[in-house]
Structure 1
Amino acid sequence: MIDVLATVITVVASVSASTASLGYWLGKKFSYIDTKFSEINKRFELIDKRFELIDKRFEEIDKRFQEIDKRFQEIDRRFELMEKRFDELSQRIGRLENAFTQFSETLIMLLESKEIFTSGEALSLRKLVRAILPYSSSKYYTKEVYERLKQLLDKDAYEYTLDDIEQMYEIADLIEKEGIESKRKDLIEYSHKLRFFALVAKVIFVYPKILGRTPAQPKQQQQAQEKKKERSC
């Protein structure tokens, strides 16, 4: 009995010692784990702080982009204002050009009615426009356009129609376009001369037919016709 009790006491003592040793070991391990978790937590705190810094930087970047957007909006508004002003300026120039054309047409009509600007001057102008007819180009002022203009300038001026005059204006626009794109000054200058001749031809040769009268002729031609009438009488 005493031996059994001694054995039990020995086993209990051994287990207690082992348990104490295990507890000590586990305590160290848990302490180590706690230390590691503390370090991990500190690292996470550092990471959180870095993310906060990154967030702040992104907020600053967002603010800068917002400022840039505002600046671009201001620039867009300024461009819109500039476009409106250019449109207004273009309209004014168009009105001025139209007014000048109307004034020129009215002036030539007045001179024609006073027999100061006659068909003789108009034919001389056409002769000049025909003589300086520029060679054709490739894009707008093509060979076909060149040939059509030559036909119009060679046509009997007294048989001109409003459609012929309109074609001259359209060809003048094509020649001007070609001159601007190809940087040919001669084409640009010629387009202005052609427009002026088209205006003169309309007033001198077309309007009188619409009004039911003959175009104003040079005085020498009028005198020759009067002499023929006198002889026939």
Structure 2
Amino acid sequence: MVNVDTIISSLVAQAPLVVIAIILLYYKLDRKIDRLDRKIDDIRIELGNQINELKHEIKSLTSGFYNYQNTLIDFLAAKGFVTPPEAVLLRGALRASLPYAMSKYYTEEVRKRLQTLLDKELDQYTWEDVAELENIAKLMYKEYIATGREDLLDYYPKLMMYAAIIRGLLRRREMEKRQGQGVA
């Protein structure tokens, strides 16, 4: 027959060894878990850096594309390939789809100013108006970044295109004025 007292005595006698084994196991696992946490943190940092680098590259590519597009449109308008009737058509589309305002960048005041600029006749625009149209477009883009409003993202390139057309028409008007005065 099995003596329960003997079994309990054996277990009690081995308890310090069991505690030491548990402590060693805990210590080893804790170190491995700590190394694993550090590796995960390193991966997160590296991935975060790669994501930030990718964001920067995409932003550079986007900026380059819009700058190229606007310069090309400006040039084409100055050369007479984009005509005033086409500008009027785009202006009408911009007026009809004017986004509502609601935040710190694209405010109601900015919206009203844009509406006033879009109500101008083509021959009334100034260089300051072009700069203001571009500034309003940039405010819309900031608003899109802050809020995710896709209507502003859709409107932004059209407004920038319109500003580029107006800039080109202003250049053309100045060139024609100089040619009319006999200045080459």
Shared fold, TM over 0.5: yes
Q: Which amino acid aligns with 2:144?
A: E
Aligned counterpart, 2:112:
147
Change beyond 3 A, Cα 1:193–1:71: same
- Structure showing greater radius of gyration is 1
> What is the total number of aligned residue pairs between the two structures?
166
C-alpha distance in structure 1 between counterparts of 2:78 and 2:131, whole Å: 23
Aligned counterpart, 2:174:
213
C-alpha distance in structure 2 between counterparts of 1:109 and 1:131, whole Å: 23
C-alpha distance in structure 1 between counterparts of 2:169 and 2:51, whole Å: 37
Task: Please tell me whether residue 192 in structure 1 is matched to residue 160 in structure 2.
Answer: no
Of the three residues 59, 65, 71, the one matched with 1:100 is: 65
Q: In angstroms, what is the RMSD of aligned CA positions?
A: 3.2
C-alpha distance in structure 1 between counterparts of 2:39 and 2:58, whole Å: 28
CA contact under 8 A between 2:144 and 2:150: conserved in structure 1? no
- For structure 2, which runs of at least 5 residues remain unmatched after alignment? 1-8, 178-184
- For structure 1, which runs of at least 5 residues remain unmatched after alignment? 1-42, 217-233
Q: Which amino acid aligns with 2:81?
A: I
Could you report, residue by residue, the CA deviation over 1:77-111 in whole angstroms, capped at 9, with x for unpaired residues? 21122122212212221221122123213322332
CA contact under 8 A between 1:140 and 1:177: conserved in structure 2? no
Identity %: 29
Aligned counterpart, 1:77:
42
1:153 CA drift (Å): 2.3
Three-state SS of the structure 2 residue aligned to 1:93 is helix
Change beyond 3 A, Cα 1:51–1:197: farther
Of the three residues 80, 91, 110, the one matched with 1:126 is: 91
C-alpha distance in structure 2 between counterparts of 1:142 and 1:90, whole Å: 27
Q: Which amino acid aligns with 2:64?
A: A
Task: Please tell me whether residue 169 in structure 1 is matched to residue 134 in structure 2.
Answer: no
Three-state SS of the structure 1 residue aligned to 2:99 is coil
Change beyond 3 A, Cα 1:136–1:188: same
